[in-house]
A and B are shown apart, each in its own frame.
Chain A
Amino acid sequence: QVQIVQSGAEVKKPGASVKVSCKTSGYTFTNYAIHWVRQAPGQRLEWMAWINTANGNTQYSPKFLDRITITRDTSATTTYMELSSLKSEDTTVYYCATGATPVNIASESDYFDYWGQGTQVTVSS
Chain B
Amino acid sequence: EIVLTQSPGTLSLSPGERATLSCRASQSISSNFLAWYQQKLGQAPRLLIYGAFSRATGIPDRFSGSGSGTDFTLTINRLEPEDFAVYYCQQYGNSAITFGQGTRLEIK
Contact = CB atoms under 8 A, between A and B. Distances in A.
Contacts of A118: 44
Contacts of B98: 47
Contacts of B13: none
Contacts, number: 53
Interface stretch (A13-21, A79-87, A104-112): A104-112
B44 A44 contact: no
A118 B50 CA distance: 22
Contacts of A107: 95
15 contacts: A44-B88, A44-B99, A45-B45, A47-B99, A95-B45, A100-B47, A100-B50, A109-B95, A111-B47, A111-B90, A112-B35, A112-B45, A113-B57, A115-B44, A118-B44
Interface string A91-120: 000010100100000011111110111100
A78 B20 CA distance: 39
Nearest to B46: A115
Interface residues of A, number: 20
A95 B45 CA distance: 9
Which 9 residue pairs are nearest across A and B when measured between Cβ atoms? A115-B44, A111-B35, A47-B97, A45-B99, A109-B92, A44-B101, A44-B99, A111-B50, A113-B47
- Chief secondary structure at chain B's binding surface: loop
A46 B33 CA distance: 17
- Chief secondary structure at chain A's binding surface: loop
A116 B47 contact: no
Nearest to A96: B44
Contact of A46 (B92, B93, B99): B99
Interface string B78-103: 00000000001010111111111110
Interface string B45-81: 1110010000011000000000000000000000000
Given A107-B95, A109-B33, A115 B100 contact: no
